[in-house]
Chains A and B, each alone.
Chain A
Amino acid sequence: AQSVAQPEDQVNVAEGNPLTVKCTYSVSGNPYLFWYVQYPNRGLQFLLKYITGDNLVKGSYGFEAEFNKSQTSFHLKKPSALVSDSALYFCAVRDTGANNLFFGTGTRLTVIP
């Protein structure tokens, strides 16, 4: 069974400060992990993925995420937040034997000018 936890419904950060959006997961096999961002009235935009290899993956708009197998985490990070980063962020997992994505409940990021 797959599950994803995003423990924070809301994250507020000042513009220019580093941001972290947390995600932990549970799968029976090896995970494929993804981050998506959703702006108002839009669909989900792919940010980055972890499949295998380097634990630190870099994605769009300066975002990166670190895969930590022992902690079953895949936190999203950015060194310097922009006001335009304010959006809803979803972590998702796909078990290697499955075809569909299983999403977390989402974290609303607000970057304060």
Chain B
Amino acid sequence: EPEVTQTPSHQVTQMGQEVILRCVPISNHLYFYWYRQILGQKVEFLVSFYNNEISEKSEIFDDQFSVERPDGSNFTLKIRSTKLEDSAMYFCASRDTLSNQPQHFGDGTRLSIL
């Protein structure tokens, strides 16, 4: 069964540095998402992306964050000038175009800011 893949599985970064989290969505999916899960808390929506542009974003997704689909397979989340509170699991998800289909999630990237 096709999967969403995320790299790296764990990223350790110094506070203030930039970090890029990478995702390869399922190949025929056209909707892409990033979520985050701070340790012990619930999964929170960050941003959705369709047709090469952001379709929705949450209050969390401020100017520090950006997303990009640099080629036909990758979908990236960039965090500029990381803060301690950015430490979390970041999940990428993708979905088929049919609106009643579920989102499929990757295994996540654990981001640790020191």
Contacts and interface: CB of A to CB of B under 8 A. Distances in A.
B42 A100 contact: no
A92 B50 CA distance: 21
Contacts of A70: none
A104 B45 CA distance: 12
Interface secondary structure of A, over-half rule: loop
Contacts of B82: none
B94 to A, nearest CB: 12
Interface string A31-73: 0101010000111111001011000000000000000000000
A44 B56 contact: no
Interface in B1-54: 4, 6, 31, 33, 35, 41-45, 48, 50
Contact of A101 (B41, B45, B55): B45
Contact of B102 (A49, A90, A103, A106): A49
Contacts of A34: 102
A112 interface: no
Nearest to B50: A99
Interface string A86-102: 00001010001011111
Given A43-B4, A46-B102, A104-B42, A99 B107 contact: no
B104 interface: yes
Interface residues of B, number: 26
Contacts of B105: 36, 43-46
B56 A105 contact: no
A96 B105 CA distance: 20
Nearest to A50: B100
Given A98-B56, A101-B103, A44 B91 contact: yes
A12 B81 CA distance: 42
A44 B107 CA distance: 7
Contact of B42 (A45, A52, A99, A105): A105
Interface of A: 32, 34, 36, 41-46, 49, 51-52, 90, 92, 96, 98-106
Interface of B: 4, 6, 31, 33, 35, 41-45, 48, 50, 55-56, 58, 91, 93, 99-100, 102-108
